[in-house]
Structure 1
Amino acid sequence: MPSAPDRPIALRAAEAPPRARATGYPPDLARKVEGREKRPLGDPFGLRNFGVNLTRLAPGAASALRHAHATQDEFVYVLEGSPTLVTDAGETPLQPGMCAGFPAGTGDAHHLVNRTARDVVYLEIGDRSPGDRVTYPDDDLRAEMGADGKWRYSRKDGTPL
């Protein structure tokens, strides 16, 4: 099937436009991911079943709040730099060429942190299964994906944001 007229056949990942909105986190928690830039790579091609982001973390930035998905698998592949993977098991230093996967439903919360003086660049891939729920053990936050594919955030006590 040929590419749709408004979709590219191919693109340079580093030239894909950055995500228009830096984060959906509430303002009191958004500062924890300042210095993170995501360039969606699947969206320009019309991919619907999984997402791919080229993500850059400036020194001191984190990939996300430490979190665990109920129904979505995630995978990261490090291209540049040396991030630290933080999971329930502790910290693991990563290098270019290393990858990590996070199966849905395990409850093992995770994120990457750049504790170096150089940028970190990695690919993150995740499915877009509807009805996902996300827990954030270190923060007063939870998220649910609506039927429309949009995340809805609330505090752990259910107070909407």
Structure 2
Amino acid sequence: MQKLTRIITLSVALTVVSGCSYVGVYKRDIPQGNLVTQEMVSQLQPGMTQEQVTYVMGRPLLEAPFDSRQWDYVYRLDKAYSGVEQRRVTLTFDNAGRLVNVEQQGDLSRDLPISTDSGMGPAVEGADPIDALPTPTQRAPVPESTPDSQPVFMTE
């Protein structure tokens, strides 16, 4: 009976430990939305057209569905082992399509730790697509076949 209790206890303990990891799970930072920096926002001037704003900031992540005069640029960085950082810039245009108001939320002055490693994954903006191609490998030369050559079959 005591042996059976030890076996059951050991089995339950192994099952519980195998399902829970105390060493940690690999996590990575998850950026989402439009990257918004203080440099970009400082280029905005009242009276700019929507095309000029698009040139500076890019297309907005959100356009108000019932009012096309408001554009929202939202950036959210879910840091792997810490909190979430969110930035938001709301631009308001008048009826003529000119910029009249800029609202900021979040700390736009801090640099964000964005990984630009050259590993596998999506291409980095501005990177040369040729650099993403794998390097050619050396291959053994393929013997040329002639019309006279016949396939050779080995038999035992």
Structure showing the higher strand proportion among its residues: 1
Q: Higher relative contact order at CA 8 Å, sep ≥6: structure 1 or structure 2?
A: 1
- Using the size of structure 1 for normalisation, the TM-score is 0.25
Structure showing the higher helix proportion among its residues: 2
Larger C-alpha radius of gyration, 1 or 2?
2
- Using the size of structure 2 for normalisation, the TM-score is 0.26
